[in-house]
Amino acid sequence: MRSLYVYNTLSRDRELFEPETPPFVGMYVCGPTVYGEGHLGHARPAVTFDLIYRYLLHLGYRVRYVRNITDVGHLENDADEGEDKIAKKARLEQVEPMEVAQRYTNSYRENMRALNVLSPGIEPLASGHIPEQIAYVERILEAGYAYVVDGSVYFDVEKYNADHPYGILSGRRIDELQTSTRQLDGQDEKRSSLDFALWKKASPEHIMRWKSPWSDGFPGWHMECTAMGTKYLGETFDIHGGGMDLLFPHHEAEIAQAVAATGKKPVKYWLHNNMITINGQKMGKSLGNFITLNEFFSGEHKSLTQAYDPMVIRFFILQAHYRSTLDFTNEALQAAGKGLKRLFEGVNTLKNLSHTGKASFDAAQLEAQCHQAMCDDFNSPVALAHLFDGLRYINQVKDGKATIDQHTLDHLRTIYNTFLHEIFGLTSEESGNPDVLNRVMETLINLRNDARKNKDFATSDKIRDELAAAGIVMKDSKEGTTWQFEG
């Protein structure tokens, strides 16, 4: 198996990837909170970890991929006074909380399918794992790292820090944190402002609630990932992923919870994708540049000049390294769209090529370069650059300016299929055209070429222009005329 290096946030460095029990890999990724439409911010981690998942599978690992659906109990900001996000939305819309969660879960899954993101092996719901979460809180209480106040359970960060360093992931220090935390709901109950809730007692108007030994309430917002990760991947597993914004406090709290309960560090490799911006600005509900995925796909948003194919968004994301910030602009997306189209056309060319002689290109080297890039912390932009380099050779062969042998031809086909489709998950919507359409087009092409031969360009151009108006493009080359649908 190839040597894969991944950037581990825990060490702030690239490390050789060595799973606990190869060939098995346990991977947990923080999924969406389903209280609203999927947006651009959801696409980045989904595509990033889809790439990682696909590449690990390609390398021969057997991956158990868990991505949760958060459908309970995250606290809102002070304007909402600790009200549950989903409950709040439900009241506004006068429906059951689980109905809201279901609707947006469905919507999220549809978006993921459009982006060709593979389904995780397990997609657990937080609401379906309340007993596991309660049991986990009990373990932490038994270990002495939590305390109960009026039906709520809080994690005792200072006590924990005395035995285990708190902040190993985010690089934060407890004394620095103490001075920079602000007042939140329930603060007076906590011994320290740093402590976080493991279980929250529900206020009377709070409609999402479950029974527990401490109160009718709901789990703290770091609890579900710890409980469900443990349940499906064990007390220690290989990869935990998510957005950089989750680094603190969410992932830090997850480590503390697990160490408090088990004495073991739960995760070997912490992987974090960077954030996206829109026109150089952070995307935020308050900034008015919040674009949902459906708006992207339809183009219905005031800051979009056109609709974007989900594959273009996927390709755009893959063209940047996952640990860099990525800026979405119309210009950049359009550029990506053209690049992607060129790539697909090259693959199509490759499909129709036949061997012509000696190859003047080293396909094995191309393959090695692509893998080298991917093994260096999943550097998809560099791998894509190599594929574009190969494209030039393919087109030269098409133009008769280079030659290719059968072996190289087969090898290139395998490489492009493997990387573009299998690993990058890029698909062209070359839906198998019905035979009848191919026959019709063949006829039209023949008619037009007859006209061209007779220098009846009025007729030949009429055929081409009218087909163009219908969305079909004709392309003349030495080998003859080809056609395709064009947007």
Partner RNA sequence: GGUCUCGUGGCCGAGUGGCUAGGCAGCGGUCUGCAAAACCGCCUACAGCGGUUCGAUUCCGCUCGAGACCUCCA
**Segment 310 to 329, residues that bind RNA, using CB under 7 A:** 319-321, 324-327, 329
β-pair type (276-278, 472-477): unpaired
| 476 in contact with RNA (CB under 7 A) | yes
Q: Determine the interface stretch with RNA among 228-236, 255-263, 268-276, 292-300 (rule: CB under 7 A).
A: 268-276
Instruction: For the CB of residue 258, give the shortest distance to RNA in the complex, in Å.
Output: 19
Name the E strands within 204-353. Answer: 217-219, 237-243, 267-273, 276-278, 281-282, 326-328
Is position 263 an interface residue for RNA (rule: CB under 7 A)?
no
477, 479, 485, 487: residue in contact with RNA (rule CB under 7 A): 477
Q: Tell me which of 99, 110, 389, 422 binds RNA, using CB under 7 A.
A: 389
Give min distance, CB of 21 to RNA, in A.
28
Nearest-approach distance from CB 98 to RNA, in angstroms: 18
Query: Which residue spans within 369-477 are E strands per DSSP?
Result: 472-477
Distance CA 58, CA 109 (A): 23
Residues 5-44, one symbol each (x = binds RNA by CB under 7 A, - = not), give -------x-----------------x-xx-------xx-x
CB neighbour burial string for 48-80, b if at least 16 within 10 angstroms, e if fewer: bbbbbbbbbbebebebbbbbbbbbbbbbeeeee
Considering only residues 115-174, where is the footprint of RNA by CB under 7 A?
170-172
Question: According to CB under 7 A, which residues from 400 to 439 bind RNA?
Answer: 401
Q: Output 62 or 338, the one with its CB closest to RNA.
A: 338
Q: Tell me the number of residues near RNA by CB under 7 A.
A: 85
Does residue number 187 form part of the binding site for RNA (CB under 7 A)?
no
Angle, CA 32 vertex, CA 302 and CA 321 arms, to 5°: 75
What does the block give as tokens for 343?
């790539």
DSSP 86: H
CA distances from 226 to 83, 165, 196, 260 (A): 22, 18, 14, 11
Q: Are 282 and 275 in contact (CB under 8 A)?
A: yes
Q: Is 207 in the site for RNA (CB under 7 A)?
A: no
Smallest gap, in angstroms, from Cβ of residue 326 to RNA?
5
Q: Which is nearer to RNA, 261 or 383 (CB)?
A: 383
Cis? peptide before 23, omega within 30° of 0? yes
Q: Does 485 bind RNA (CB under 7 A)?
A: no
Stretch that binds RNA, among 109-117, 148-156, 261-269, 332-340 (CB under 7 A): 332-340
Do residues 309 and 337 make contact, with C-beta atoms less than 8 angstroms apart?
yes
Closest distance of CB 365 from RNA, Å: 13
Binding residue for RNA, selected from 121, 165, 213, 284, defined by CB under 7 A:
284
Which residue from 110, 144, 305, 388 is in contact with RNA, where contact means CB under 7 A?
Answer: 388
Assess 77 for contact with RNA (CB under 7 A).
yes
Phi, psi of 337 (to 5 degrees): -60, -40
Residue 84 and residue 99: Cα distance in Å, rounded?
15
By CB under 7 A, is residue 352 in contact with RNA? no
- The rounded distance, in Å, linking the Cα atoms of 119 and 67 is 9
Binding residue (CB under 7 A) for RNA from 105, 192, 212, 379: 379
189 binds RNA (CB under 7 A): no
Residue 385, amino acid? A
